[in-house]
Amino acid sequence: MTPLEAGDPAAANAWLARHGPACWQQADGAALAAACTAVPDAALPAWPAVARWRALAALLADGADAMPCLEVAHAGHRAAGQGPAARLDAHIALALCLVDIGAMEGVTAWVQRSQAEDGIDAAPGDSGDVGLPPEAAALWLALGEAARAVLSPAHGQGAGLALARLHQHLQPLGPPLAAHERLLVAQVLVNAHFTRQQFEQFDRLQAAVEAPALFDAAPPLARARWHHTLGFACYQVGRWQTAETAWQQALALARTQGLAHQALMASLAMLRLLLDRQRLAEAAQLEAGIDPRWGAGRPMQLMWLQQMRARLALLRGQPARAQPLLAEALALAEQAGLSDAERGALHTDQVQLLLALGQPAEATALLDRLAAPEGAPHRDRAVFQCLQGLLQAQALAAAGDAGAAARLQAALRHAQALRYTMFFRLLPERAAEICALALRWQIEPAFVRELAQERQLPAPPGAGPAWPWALWLRLLGGFELRLQGQALPRQGKPQAKPLELLRYLACAADQEAPMRRVADALWPDSEGAAAHKSLEMTVQRSRRLLGDERLLRVHDGMLALDAARCSSDLQQRRHAGRALQALAMQPGPDAAAELAQAQALLQALAACARDPGALLLPGAPDAPWLLAARAEAAAEWRRSLQAGQAVLARLSARAGGAGAAAADAARLQALALGLAALGAGEAGG
């Protein structure tokens, strides 16, 4: 097929009418593009069919932008009174918004254009009406109808029938499709089933289109786009490993085939996943290798790049560095023509940045605006309302307001209904505090535990026994070891030394100790070298017992339990007690907030164990190290109770003036009764 000489639009139009469908079927974008160059840009409005073919040629090229050509085609067909052709242009554009992830600019306008064409016949019988063969036109119309259902969920007319038609194309005996068309259909279907929460369809679609003979016949660009779309859908429903595998495949394919734009998109997707999984070192390495020129200057891609860079800076605790990056991302979103409502993810990041910068009032004001009925589309508005509720619950809890629990329950139920598990994704410590508060109050515990485990949230101070610890040890009043919430099975020969090592570290300050001290404590009758050798063997056996060597770390001559994933009732009692002692020494300026903090710490102490003042490891052999640990634990417990009494006395004095609120008096009485209950028995340590 010889490219036409430039300057002959009529010849180009005739050539495309004859050869365009075959070029498309063969994924020969070069031939399509060459024929389209016969029509100068300035003349395209008069030749809308050529403009459409140029858009389809752009879809077959990495980094090319098909949407401007479709704008011209749609306007030209409408101006010429060719309604069915204009409708087809709109549906092609909607499908491309899902197929080419970089084509989302102006998606709202395309939905509106498609809606404006609703009265036009959706199944033209004469190919001359639309400039494509009937079967090709029918395929694009079905794709567009399904895409509109994704992009405009309120629209359901014709969507079910369109999905059924598209599924028929993927059946072994269905209408024949080119290899790249099969992947195009599958991409639209994945998005449609995601919107309908039919997540079981993901695996079926993957099996249908990734059969080697058919899949390998598709162009690399189509395969890379399929991997990217599948990864996105799986990522959104928490199937992290499947998403990571898909995006790694997309990135490898893009790099080996020289698909620069797809390499950028896959890198950005991987970067987002790594940031959400708190794999910051890997994220920084990936970000350093991204070349912004891969985006060919398209504002949407550059916007996502700056957004991911801002997220990385914020997760690294650098909000001042994140601020200009996020501001640039917002400016690029405006340049790309995204409406305020379409900048939902950027605004969510903006709220978190304001909180990290210590500007809660500004963050709250932004959330109030976004959560208003006119502030965002339905799903985004619901997300903002959920964040609004979580922030309000935290503030109420800090002030000791009795309505905090009800507000938190409403917000978390809202999050669960939305499947919104990534709230405060850039402030994992804040998300962890919310989860710990919910678990302490037994609010949606199954959802919260699963969320904390999936996101690998860092356990906040005083998280308590309800937190989904990878390793939890009960030490006060008895001994129990739980791994991932399950008690260690009592079978086989007891592993005395590995268990003693874990007990020793759990009793140590900050759950770590020098290896030499551990060896001397556990093998007091052995020589130094022999004791050290025994310790090394015991560490190996302990790791096998735990099933995760990361839980027991050796570094710089120190032996430690991973404080972010391991804890015990003793450690939680120690954290709460020290916080109570600090409160006793440094009173806060606000009596109500101080009373709320004292109540929370008292509740944390009471929740640490069945009997917080019970003997440490009763029944265990009275080794010298254990006797010393018991004495220290008993002293810490007495100091905590004394600190509680001091705080109570100070608060009672401050609340004794005229006009003292009855609620404060009731809280003080509850605080006094709680302290009395904790101190009723002498702690044996």
Nearest to 195 by CA among 168, 165, 163: 163
Quick one: pLDDT band at residue 590, thresholds 50, 70, 90? confident
Using the 3D structure, point to which of 218, 248, 270 is the last residue of a domain: 218
Mean pLDDT computed over every residue of the chain: 86
The token pair at 444 is: 């949606």
pLDDT in tens, 409-459: 999 999 998 888 889 999 999 999 999 999 989 999 999 999 998 888 988
Task: Print burial letters for 669-683: b (CB count within 10 Å at least 16), e (below 16).
Answer: eebbebbeebbeeeb
Residue 534 lies in a domain: yes
How far, CA to CA in Å, does 4 sit from each of 9, 29, 39, 64, 570? 10, 15, 10, 21, 81
Residue 251 lies in a domain: no
Are 40 and 126 contained in the same domain? yes
Residue whose entry in the numeric block shows the structure tokens 């950027």: 346
| Secondary structure class of 616 (helix, strand, coil) | strand
Are 577 and 518 contained in the same domain? no
Quick one: pLDDT band at residue 373, thresholds 50, 70, 90? confident
pLDDT exceeds 60 at position 376: no
Are 537 and 669 contained in the same domain? no
Residue whose entry in the numeric block shows the structure tokens 């190996």: 540
- Estimate the crossing angle of helix 515-522 against helix 528-546, to 10 degrees: 100
Are 103 and 137 contained in the same domain? yes
Segment (H or E) for 472: strand 471-474
| Domain span holding position 577 | 570-655+662-678
Quick one: pLDDT band at residue 558, thresholds 50, 70, 90? very high
d(CA 336, CA 484): 46
Quick one: pLDDT band at residue 77, thresholds 50, 70, 90? very high
Other CB atoms within a 10 A radius of the CB of residue 221 amount to 24
pLDDT exceeds 50 at position 123: no
pLDDT in tens, 455-466: 889 888 878 888
| Total tally of structural domains belonging to the chain | 3
Are 486 and 609 contained in the same domain? no
d(CA 63, CA 553): 46
Residue 367 lies in a domain: no
Least confident stretch, 78-87, 208-217, 429-438, 598-607 = 598-607
Are 624 and 518 contained in the same domain? no
- Contacts with 318 (C-beta within 8 Å, 6 or more apart), sequence order: none
Residue 105's pLDDT is 65
Here the CATH number for the domain that contains residue 541 is 1.10.10.10
d(CA 111, CA 88): 13
Are 39 and 182 contained in the same domain? yes
Residue 124's pLDDT is 41
Using the 3D structure, point to which of 218, 240, 255 is the last residue of a domain: 218
Higher per-residue pLDDT: 331 or 116: 331
Are 580 and 560 contained in the same domain? no
d(CA 284, CA 558): 28
pLDDT in tens, 479-537: 999 998 888 765 555 578 999 999 999 999 889 999 999 999 999 988 888 999 999 99
**Do 304 and 268 touch, CB atoms closer than 8 A?**
yes
Residue 198 lies in a domain: yes
Are 590 and 477 contained in the same domain? no
d(CA 370, CA 381): 7
- Estimate the crossing angle of helix 83-99 against helix 179-195, to 10 degrees: 80
pLDDT in tens, 6-36: 568 888 999 999 999 999 999 999 999 999 9
- Estimate the crossing angle of helix 260-276 against helix 280-288, to 10 degrees: 160
Are 650 and 517 contained in the same domain? no
- Contacts with 552 (C-beta within 8 Å, 6 or more apart), sequence order: 502, 505, 539, 542, 543, 546, 559, 560, 561, 562
Residue 607's pLDDT is 80
Which one-letter DSSP state was computed for residue 527? Answer: -
d(CA 635, CA 627): 13
Residue 1's pLDDT is 44
Residue 133 lies in a domain: yes
Quick one: pLDDT band at residue 170, thresholds 50, 70, 90? confident
Residue 618 lies in a domain: yes
Are 94 and 179 contained in the same domain? yes
Question: Degrees (nearest 5) of the Cα angle 197, 200, 205?
Answer: 110
Residue 503 lies in a domain: yes
- Section 386-393 average pLDDT: 94
**Do 573 and 608 touch, CB atoms closer than 8 A?**
yes
The token pair at 176 is: 């024949």
Are 649 and 507 contained in the same domain? no
d(CA 408, CA 438): 7
d(CA 667, CA 473): 32
pLDDT exceeds 60 at position 375: no
Residue 556 lies in a domain: yes
Using the 3D structure, point to which of 568, 595, 618 is the last residue of a domain: 568
Residue 73's pLDDT is 94
- Section 613-622 average pLDDT: 89
Residue 224's pLDDT is 95
d(CA 307, CA 377): 21
The token pair at 146 is: 């399904």
- Contacts with 257 (C-beta within 8 Å, 6 or more apart), sequence order: 220, 221, 224
Residue 296's pLDDT is 58
d(CA 633, CA 640): 11
Quick one: pLDDT band at residue 122, thresholds 50, 70, 90? very low
Nearest to 234 by CA among 191, 173, 272, 265: 191
Residue 128's pLDDT is 47
d(CA 270, CA 647): 50
133 burial class (0-12, 13-18, 19+ CB within 10 angstroms)?
A: middle
d(CA 350, CA 329): 11
